[in-house]
Amino acid sequence: MTEQSTRERARNPQDLERLLVARQWAGDVDAMVALYEPEAVIDSSDGRLIEGLEAIRKYFAEYNASGRKFQSGSQRPALVAGDLALTSTRLSDGTVTGEVARRQSDGTWLWVLDRFSMAGERK
């Protein structure tokens, strides 16, 4: 994967999930973190809330080092209201993710909230 493809910006909230999975598979933690706002919060579904970019960077570095890989799933169409969007994906194990993205001043989108499991089983 080229530097340019790992640094593609989300022009649509639907781009965020695809970009996150591709960047994780490429092992590019900094590019993964670039998909989040500075004060973003991740609920990783293991009892922890990961708050802010440094904590998110550490979490993704540890996750990538474990050898586990994110999987693509079936994305629902984003629900957009002004500069906010709700995104969601159903993974093959039945897990449903939920995220809130915000449109930035340059028209791109970044996640503000990311819940890895809203329903279903997380394996």
Radius of gyration over alpha carbons of the chain, in Å? Answer: 13
- At 89-110, the pLDDT tens digits run 999 889 999 999 999 999 999 9
Residue ranges per structural domain of the chain: 3-119
For residue range 13-50, list pLDDT tens digits in order.
999 999 999 999 999 999 999 999 999 999 987 888 99
Whole-number Å distance between alpha carbons of 41 and 36: 9
Q: Which CATH class is domain 3-119?
A: alpha beta
